[in-house]
Structure 1
Amino acid sequence: MKASHLFSCSGSKYSSTVLALLAGACCVGLALQVSPVLASAQAEQASSSFHDPLQQSALTQLGAASEPALAVTRAGESLVSVGLRGLIMISNDDGETWTQSPSPVAVDLVQVYFQNELNGWAVGHDSVLLSTTDGGLSWVVQLDGRSLVTLLKKHYANASDLDEFEAESMLREVDLATSTSSDPDIMATPFLDVFVDEQGEGYVLGAFGMLLRTTDNGASWEPWTEHTDNDRRMHLYSIDMQGDEVYLSGEQGLLMRLDREAQRFVQIETPYTGTFFGVRVSDGVLIAYGLRGNLYVSRDSGDNWQQVNTQQQATLVDAVSDGAGHILLVSERGELIRLNTETLETDLIAVPYSGQVYSSAKPEKPGALIVAQFSGPRKIDISQFQ
């Protein structure tokens, strides 16, 4: 899909669905199909008095553990999950039980990342970026659709490193995006992933090529969309960093690597033209994965690629470390593929289907995997891989 304008979207209040598995393309394609029950609830909510989800805290839910979870990650010895309408949950017993944490927003959160056991970030609809410094017990808003509009306009109106034409072009795109939003004060572009390393360098990215950078551990963010070889404004889905290496993945085979000297993400040629929902770099091995079980591996920073037969056709949605020299890939059907990064051989385990999987995390104790599903976080036994 080609977005003709950066950040352009049809409205700021998306239906409550998952963004991380987008196989479509424009704003209405930034969501999976809504269940009839959820659609009915949304219709009832829309008919009632409107409450701004950016100004409303997430509701406390008695059965939070069975509510839709769209992402899950490890935070030290704990697990943190995020989901619909601002839902944030923590587990301190390897995913056996979950406790809801207060969330300052009621928008859908689609991804969560922790730098260490205390410092983490969550992203979602309406350009929401939350941060925590206590392991997920409390969260604050670092960015949202309103503050992002102010940040973008101020940045491009005063950007000394851009020529006048480029700065004006970016400002026009911001104006177009807000003019087509259901609320002209809100940048509707959803954030889809975030990563901040231990040195404080990090990026938050999303639909229509949105990219921002921090060098102070998230205390401030600088627009960086113009620092990418992404003129077609493809959606950006995933980021991974290791040392000085930084990679971004997106639509239509888009994969980019940070050129630190040029201060720009340059495009890497790949043999695949479908969407890469994820990218991962670890110990000199770069993998990119996405639609229909497609998995590619490079040992030279993306100059050359080898396709890996994953033995299945479901979309790959996540990759987690499974010990030295092994990566565990997770499909949307919950199938698990263990990749030996030395031999590129794979082992497949077909977990009984129990609903679509959006994300995964390894708990502290071995032999299990936590997956995020519409029915809530679920633990899967993977002891047969050990």
Structure 2
Amino acid sequence: MESLLRWGIENSVPASGDASELHQVAAEVAAGKRKDLLDPALYEAIMGKSDAVLMKEAMAAATDKGNDVEQRIVALENFEMLVEQIDNANNLEFLNFWAPLIELLIDPEDEIRQHACWVCGTAVQNNAQAQNAFMKLNPLPTLLALISTVPAPSDLHLPAHVSKSSQATRSRAMYALSGTLKHNAYAIGRMDDHEGWGWQVLKGGLSDPSMTIRRKTAFLLSTLLLLVAAPTSEFTLTFRPAPTTSNPTPRSSSTAVTLAPTQANEFPTDSSKATPSVPSPSYTSILKSFEAHGIPSVVLDSLRQADFPRAGADGDEPPANEDPDYKEKAGRVLISLLEKNGLTEELKAEFGTYWLDVKKEQGGVEKAFEVGKEEAVEIEKLLSLQRS
């Protein structure tokens, strides 16, 4: 700060053109005689507080249970805006903010849990460095418990109120979970913990009382399937460590993690080194996890079966297949599974029957699943259907 002040003084010229007085002040600063000009409060008044200071203040306010809920929410909203900037998101680890954020995920106040999910989801979005820092504290069980409407496994020792969160909070938790899993092999591998409880939660999301959760679940499943190689393509993801420079870097979906086969369940502790470019077992095992937990059949049932559980507190909402957004997202899951040999022959035949039914609707499969005519032709070839 002193050097900045000296530079400013030395390079400023009064309107009179006589800079002797300013040079005198600069000399006094250099000699340490003008401590009044080095007051941090003066610097902040001129330049504004740094983002790190603002983050510390917001976190202090959010975690102070002496504040009322509204004050804490405002603090978390301010914090979320700050971590939209990728450098600030990466600084969460260095400022030791991940631990208190995860504590806020289980706060007794539902709205605090909701906004904490929002912060976490924004910080990890397309950011491998933040994802890895977040995963060091094992947050998935908490996020999954927030989403699920059934109690978490007892050995997790989570408060009962976590699984009684509002729809808005559960939706934010899904946002945070999606951001954590996308392009992160290690996080996806941890979905198998507790006998695949993570996958069971996602399967349950397809019949959730909230249609919003159903849509978000279908979209996440579809997104995860994009990481799986199609049988006829070469698919390789490499780990690209986040930049360490101070220059803001646009977030990109190219920040992906690939682990060597022997590292499927090991945390990538050194994010500064790239691992070999090999297919990740956590990505290639996604199809196996889907099949093991019966996810493909539930997706198809949600579209085909008239008696599939309806959304709504009392199951009083229209069937899922009458919700255009859900129908498109669930259809995308089935199409991806088909393209990647993720459907059994029985499910493939059932999907083919459903496809023909949808073709008879106004707009056909092109409208329902948002596919082009050429793509529809290729899908029907995979389904062994004669296009008419």
TM-score (normalizing by structure 2): 0.21
Which structure has the highest helix share of the two? 2
Bigger RCO (CA 8 Å, 6+ sep): 1
Structure of larger gyration radius: 2
Which structure has the highest strand share of the two? 1
